[in-house]
Amino acid sequence: MSVGKKMLSTGEAVVDRVLCVVGAVAFSQMPEFMQQYLQRLGGHLDEARRHLAQYQKIADDTHVTLAELATRFNGSMDAATAKVGGVITDTAARVHELEAAQAAIQNAGIFGRPFAFLRHADLEIARGTWSIFKPAVPTTVEGALYAAAGIVVLIGLYYGLIHYPIVRAWKRRNMAKTERMMAEAAAQPVKRLE
């Protein structure tokens, strides 16, 4: 094996190992991020439920439903009071939205959870989670599975998008060079030995 090929082989082995580590570390953080996201989501849900409970108490005290209370506020001639009906409706919708998101993410399977997260993620909560995110060493089966998936994904991307296309192009270049040299050799007149 030539020195150049040996160096390339060693360099590729280093790239493989680096990609394995990066993939494992990056993907293993996904369960931790989703866990921290769910904690923030739960806090937002608790706060929205608290606000909704206050409106529900007013509705109960006045012997109307929450929807009727919102309609009464909406029908007020006072602009400020009329907006309270919208706030009641928005708060009820927010509670429903957050409950649905929390249930979807928590009830998803190990590999379905990232897709449920992406489908139901609240960008404001996700940004808040990211701003205080603390990486953790995964000690769960889920963390190990995500780490393995990270290795497979990054190695697959490297070989599929970088390594194999370069190797194919290099082989085509060498074959074209060989064919050209053979064609030039065939075009040369044959010298006779006397």
For residues 159 and 44, which has the higher predicted lDDT (pLDDT)?
44
Q: Is the pTM of this model over 0.85?
A: no
pLDDT tens-digit map of 116-157? 999 999 999 999 999 999 888 778 888 888 888 888 888 888
**Residue 49 and residue 95 in contact, taking contact as beta carbons nearer than 8 Å:** yes
pLDDT tens-digit map of 19-63? 888 888 888 888 889 999 999 999 999 999 999 999 999 999 999
The gap from C-alpha 164 to its chain's centroid, in whole angstroms, comes to 26
pLDDT tens-digit map of 87-102? 999 999 999 999 999 9
Model confidence at 191: pLDDT above 70? no
Model confidence at 106: pLDDT above 90? yes
Q: In whole angstroms, give the CA distance from residue 34 to residue 146.
A: 12
**Residue 152 and residue 22 in contact, taking contact as beta carbons nearer than 8 Å:** no
Rg, C-alpha atoms of the chain: 31
CB count, 10 Å around CB of 124? 10
Read off the DSSP letter of residue 12.
Answer: H
